[in-house]
Every structure is written in structure tokens, then in C-alpha cells.
Amino acid sequence: MAYTQSTTFLSNSPRFPFASLPNPSLHPPSVTHLFFRPLRFKGVSVKPHTPLYSLKASMAETKNVAVDVFEKEDLAVALAKYVADLSNKFTAERGAFTVCLSGGSLINYLRKLLEPPYVDSLEWSKWHVFWLDERVVPKTHEDSNYKLAFDGLLSKVPIPPGNVYAINDALSAEGAADDYETCLRHLVKSNVILSSASGFPKFDLQLLGMGPDGHVASLFPGHPLLQENKKWVTFIKDSPKPPPERITFTFPVINSSAYAALVVTGSGKADAVHSVLRGSQNSVKLPAALVSPEGELKWFLDKGAASKL
Ligand SMILES: O=C(O)[C@H](O)[C@@H](O)[C@H](O)[C@H](O)COP(=O)(O)O
């Protein structure tokens, strides 16, 4: 596929030493450093996992944050490669890959993992799958994030059933959150999940979506749960996005992650994306702006979601 525009935007953060001194040799030839000035590459074909353009976010407290913008179909290709590379890295390094899923459109964007070369080559038996958030409904219910992931991904790859950690759907929201936290604590003790220096579980990869209001997992704008700093897993009974009862990881857990990806598409999310990535540092932060993992954060955007950047 031939693209006509490719641009890299670098922040002025001291964490990005090359931000104000672009050096084309440091980046793939398909990107430039012209601060959104479009560059024509007529006739040059770009691999589908290569973003249309990339930018480094000027988020407050910017750590390792990268933002890539894709055509929709290419986003799925790039996301599969990103997940596969991390799966290979962690299974080689420590014989396990702990990955956390969200609900929503994310699962569909993971669909390329079900195709060659990944479906046959990934060490699925070493995957351990968790949910960043789950709706408090039976696992067979259409609203269940477990069902969504099982139908769309997990039932099609050989992950041992014992490595898939669904919430206990027989419990209340409060009970299910406690039960899930107990399960995580047990897995940290047995070293399946690593522990961060702060004592929170350190997952290898957390895959998040973002709502048009800027929520991530089941952490919604203005909700007191945004401040929770002790519990690993908590519950909400008044979620503005239905269904109202959910359990969710807290920010300390989200931010202890080694890698995190935010997969956000559609022009309906462009305002929230702009607010998070370009918003004033003094304005009230949307939940997505609070995602700041110990390791790397990568945004996968389509053109619609990036349209106001
Ligand atoms: O279960 C959920 O509702 C979520 O985990 C939620 O945080 C979701 O990821 C976003 O709302 C984005 O969903 P979409 O990608 O479908 O818009």
C-alpha cells in the first residue's frame, strides 16, 4: 500500500534528547521530523505495520510515550506485531508472558494474532491472561469481557485454560474484586506475575482501550476510584458506561506495568485524545492521561482518533 504522508512529532521533553534536534538517521526512512508538516512519498510503499505518522506526546510527566497513527486495517497488523514481539521477548526471558485485556473494540483489533505467522509461532502455552476490567455479569452474558475475548481470541489459540484468569462471576462486585486481587497476590507469590518495586503487580503487557469520555479500564472521569492507591483491584457500581457494576484494576497496578498500549480509534474519541496528548498541564486530567506505566506506553490511533492532534 502506498502512503503519501508520514510525519514524526517529537516532544520537547528532556526524556527525548532528539526532540529539538531531528536526526533522520535515528528513525526509519518513512518518517520525518517536521512537526506535522506533511511529506510526500509518492510511490513509496510502507509496510502495513509502519504507522502513517508517529508522534511523541507532550504529556505531563512524559516517560517513554510513543504515538503511532495508522490506517484502520494496518493498526491491527501493527498491534499484532507489537504483542507478538513482547510475547517472544518475555517468554524467552522468563518463560511466561502476562498480558491483561480490556473490553470493547480491543479484541477485534487483536484479530491478526489469529493469522500466520503468529497463530502458529507464538508460545501460547506460556501466556497468562488477565482482565484490566470486567463487567459483573455471568461469563456467558453478552456484556462479559471474558466472553468477548474468549469468543474472539482465546478459544482459537492453545492457551492452557488454567492460565486464563477470569473473574468469579458467582460473586458480588465487591466480592469479585477481592477475589481477583487475592488471585493476583497468589500469582505474584508464585512468581507468575512479577512484582514492582512499589509492591504492586508488574504485568508484562496491559492492553487498554479508551472511551470517548477518556475513561480507561473502568476508571471514569471525576470518579473517586481514580484516587485509589492501596487496592490492586476495586469495584464500581455506578459505571456511566453500562453495565453499571464492574471490577477494575486501580491506577497503581496499571502504572506498574512493563508495557502498556492504548488502542483508540474513531473520530468520536478525537477530543479526548487531544485533551490527553495535547491538553494543558494545568487542566483536569482525563483517566487516560493518568496512564503512565513504569515501562513504555504506546498509543495505537487511527486517523479519526488522531484527527484533532
Ligand atoms: O469493558 C469496558 O467497557 C472497557 O474495558 C473499557 O475501558 C473499554 O476498553 C473502553 O470503553 C473502550 O471501548 P471501545 O474500544 O469499544 O470504545
Residue 53's Cα: distance from chain center in Å?
A: 19
Q: Is 236 helix (H, G, I), strand (E, B) or coil?
A: strand
Q: In which band, very low, low, confident or very high, does the pLDDT at 26 lie, cut at 50, 70 and 90?
A: very low
Which of the listed residues 141, 215, 239, 302 should we mutate to test ligand 1's pocket, taking the one with most ligand atoms within 8 A of CB? 215
Q: What is the pLDDT of residues 199-232, one digit of tens each?
A: 999 999 999 999 999 999 999 999 999 999 999 9
Query: How many percent of the chain have pLDDT more than 90?
Result: 76
- 104 touches ligand 1 (CB under 6 Å): yes
Span of 32-36, 147-151, 205-209, 305-309 with lowest mean pLDDT:
32-36
Those residues whose C-beta lies under 8 Å from the C-beta of residue 102, and which sit 6 or more positions away, are: 131, 132, 133, 145, 207, 208, 209, 216, 217
Residue written as cell 487511527?
A: 302
**Beta bridge mates, 68:** 54, 300
**pLDDT per residue as tens digits for the range 157-200:** 999 999 999 999 999 999 999 999 999 999 999 999 999 999 99
Q: What is the pTM of this model?
A: 0.85
Residue from 281, 260, 262, 261 nearest 215 by CA: 262
For residue 302 and ligand 1, the question of a CB distance below 6 A is answered with no
Q: Indicate the pLDDT class of residue 53, thresholds 50, 70 and 90.
A: confident
Confidence bin at 23 (pLDDT 50/70/90): very low
Residues 286 and 228: their CA atoms lie apart, in Å, by 15
Q: For the chain, give the number of residues.
A: 309
Contacts of 214 (CB under 8 A, 6+ apart): 221, 272, 275, 276, 286, 287, 288, 289
Backbone conformation region of residue 214, classed left if phi is above 0, alpha if psi is from -120 to 50, else beta: left
Greater model confidence, 20 or 290: 290
| ipTM value greater than 0.95 | yes
Give residue 52's pLDDT band: very low, low, confident or very high (50, 70, 90): confident
